[in-house]
A and B are shown apart, each in its own frame.
Chain A
Amino acid sequence: EPEVTQTPSHQVTQMGQEVILRCVPISNHLYFYWYRQILGQKVEFLVSFYNNEISEKSEIFDDQFSVERPDGSNFTLKIRSTKLEDSAMYFCASRGIRNQPQHFGDGTRLSIL
């Protein structure tokens, strides 16, 4: 069964450094998402991406964050200058068309030191 894959599974970075989290969505999907889950808290929406542009973003997704689909398969989340509070599990999701469920990857655990 097709699945969303994320790399790396765990990223440890010094505060202030840039990180790029990578995702390969399911191949025929059109809608792409990033969510995060801080330890012990709810899964929170960050951003949605469709037709090569951001379609919606949350207030968490400030100027330090950016997303890109550099080619036909990858979808990336960049955090420009990481903060301690960016430590969380980051999930990528994709779906084929609206009214279909979102399918999630296994996540990248980001630890900021």
Chain B
Amino acid sequence: SQELEQSPQSLIVQEGKNLTINCTSSKTLYGLYWYKQKYGEGLIFLMMLQKGGEEKSHEKITAKLDEKKQQSSLHITASQPSHAGIYLCGADDQGGSEKLVFGKGTKLTVNP
């Protein structure tokens, strides 16, 4: 089945700095989802990417899916303390399965 690797595992940045989180798949991605999780809480849906080369933005967060559909990146511009949390990429598993498989997550800390 699908395996997702996220990098970095953790990231500490100063408020106002830009940052990028990567998600790499072992297989072609048919649906890639970014979620944010605060410690001990649920997963908040951020964005969904399905087409090679697709890019979506919401407020200061931009997500891209590469042309080969095996890598996605999440970019945050001018980070704020409210961006802190764990960012998870998830993907539709292969063969028409409904389940999502997830990466281990990237823990983001934004220092004021």
Contact = CB atoms under 8 A, between A and B. Distances in A.
Interface of A: 4, 6, 31, 33, 35, 41-45, 48, 50, 55-56, 58, 89, 91, 93, 98-107, 109
Interface string B60-82: 00000000000000000000000
A104 B42 contact: yes
Closest 5 CB pairs of A and B: A45-B99, A106-B42, A104-B43, A43-B102, A48-B98
Contact of A33 (B35, B44, B50, B98): B98
B52 interface: no
Interface of A is mostly: strand
B67 to A, nearest CB: 20
Interface of B: 31, 33, 35, 40-45, 48, 50, 88, 90, 93, 97-105
A41 B93 CA distance: 18
A104 B104 contact: no
Contact of A56 (B48, B98, B104): B98
Contact of B100 (A41, A102, A107, A109): A102
Contacts of A104: 35, 42-45
> Which of A31, A42, A55, A106 lies at the interface centre, i.e. has the most chain B CB atoms within 10 A of its CB?
A42
A56 B43 CA distance: 21
Contact of A101 (B33, B40, B41): B33
Given A43-B43, A102-B33, 18 more contacts: A35-B100, A42-B103, A43-B90, A43-B100, A45-B93, A48-B98, A50-B98, A55-B98, A56-B99, A58-B99, A93-B43, A98-B98, A99-B50, A104-B35, A104-B42, A106-B42, A107-B40, A109-B40
A35 B44 CA distance: 14
> Which of B43, B93, B105 lies at the interface centre, i.e. has the most chain A CB atoms within 10 A of its CB?
B43
Nearest to B102: A43
